[in-house]
Amino acid sequence: MKVTFSNRIIGKNTRLGNNLIIEQGVVIGENCRIGNNVTVYEGTEIGDNVRIDDNSVIGKQPMKAITSTVTGDNKQPPCVIEDGCIIGTNVIIYAGCYIEKNCLLADLSSIREKVKIGEKTIIGRGVAIENYCYIGSYCKLETNSYITAYSLLEDYVFIAPGVITSNDNFAGRSEERFKQFKGVTVKRGGRIGANATILPGIVIEEDGFVGAGSVVTKNIPSGKIVIGNPAKVEKNVPESQLLKNNI
């Protein structure tokens, strides 16, 4: 049984904190815990057994600068968070996001509009995921990593702390850049070590591994380890570390 009040639906055994803002059309499932000072914007759908900690903002519509590279209507559909997710303190999840079951989004993480995150993925403390990204299932993005807009991370991808990805080879200059924005692609089982930098449009093939501190300027073949600045192939990923031997 769910309780309806003022065009909102709250499931049974859901606990609500103090000073909440829950806008019209919001649906919150059963057995949820919503912390203090949380804002849930219009139309947001939250599944069962979801925990949202203090001061988080769910379903925020994006702002659009005059100089924004994103064209068209900026109005996004409501955010959806599926069953069993844990949302930390001071997390911002924009409208247009879809978070699948049993994900963890740690404190201070920020998820921009038009992002989909697959089930059982962990988004670490302070991680920023920009707009129009797809993050697969069973991924782990660790503290303060940055995923640039228009990126694709397939399943079982590992991103270490401080990793930086980019999508603009023109660094904000020239009209040509508007035609060539392209995020990074990390295919199934790809891994990126701490503080590595990945340049625009790079593809890391399945089981590719980027060593810590590397600057990746070329695509990485499947099952290869690259290191350095610019990163070069060093050796094969050990057989014992291939994804097929670890799931």
Q: Note the CATH number of domain 1-62+75-119.
A: 2.160.10.10
Question: How large a percentage of the chain has pLDDT more than 70?
Answer: 91
pLDDT computed for residue 179 by the predictor:
67
Q: Do domains 1-62+75-119 and 138-247 have the same CATH topology?
A: yes
Question: How large a percentage of the chain has pLDDT more than 90?
Answer: 85
pLDDT computed for residue 173 by the predictor:
74
Residue type, 239: E
Long-range contacts (CB closer than 8 Å, 24 or more residues apart) made by 209-218: 209/237, 209/241, 212/160
Mean pLDDT over residues 114-121, rounded? 98
Q: What is the pTM of this model?
A: 0.93
pLDDT computed for residue 64 by the predictor:
75
Secondary structure (3-state) at 245: helix
Mean pLDDT over residues 23-51, rounded? 97
**How far is Cα 22 from Cα 224, in angstroms, rounded to an integer?**
49
Domain boundaries defined on the chain: 1-62+75-119, 138-247
Per-residue pLDDT tens digits for 185-205: 999 999 999 999 999 999 999
Mean pLDDT over residues 4-16, rounded? 84
For residue 111, pLDDT beyond 70:
yes
pLDDT computed for residue 7 by the predictor:
81
pLDDT computed for residue 72 by the predictor:
53
**Residue 156: how many other CB atoms lie within 10 Å:** 23
pLDDT computed for residue 4 by the predictor:
46
What is the overall mean pLDDT for the chain?
Answer: 93
Mean pLDDT over residues 44-58, rounded? 98
pLDDT computed for residue 1 by the predictor:
43
pLDDT-derived band at 69 (thresholds 50, 70, 90) equals low
Q: Which two tokens stand for residue 181?
A: 């924005």
For residue 34, pLDDT beyond 70:
yes
**How far is Cα 105 from Cα 87, in angstroms, rounded to an integer?**
5
Q: CATH homologous superfamily for 138-247? A: Hexapeptide repeat proteins (2.160.10.10)
Per-residue pLDDT tens digits for 84-100: 999 999 999 999 999 99
Per-residue pLDDT tens digits for 205-228: 999 999 999 999 999 999 999 999
For residue 19, pLDDT beyond 60:
yes
For residue 133, pLDDT beyond 80:
yes
Encode burial over 93-131: b for 16+ CB neighbours within 10 A, e otherwise: bbbbbbbbbbbbbbbbbbbbbbbbbbbbbbbbbbbbbbb
More confident residue, 180 or 71: 180
Residues sharing a CB contact under 8 Å with residue 173, sequence separation 6 or more, in sequence order: none
**How far is Cα 132 from Cα 121, in angstroms, rounded to an integer?**
17
Long-range contacts (CB closer than 8 Å, 24 or more residues apart) made by 176-182: 177/69, 178/69, 181/69, 181/149, 181/150, 182/150
For residue 71, pLDDT beyond 70:
no
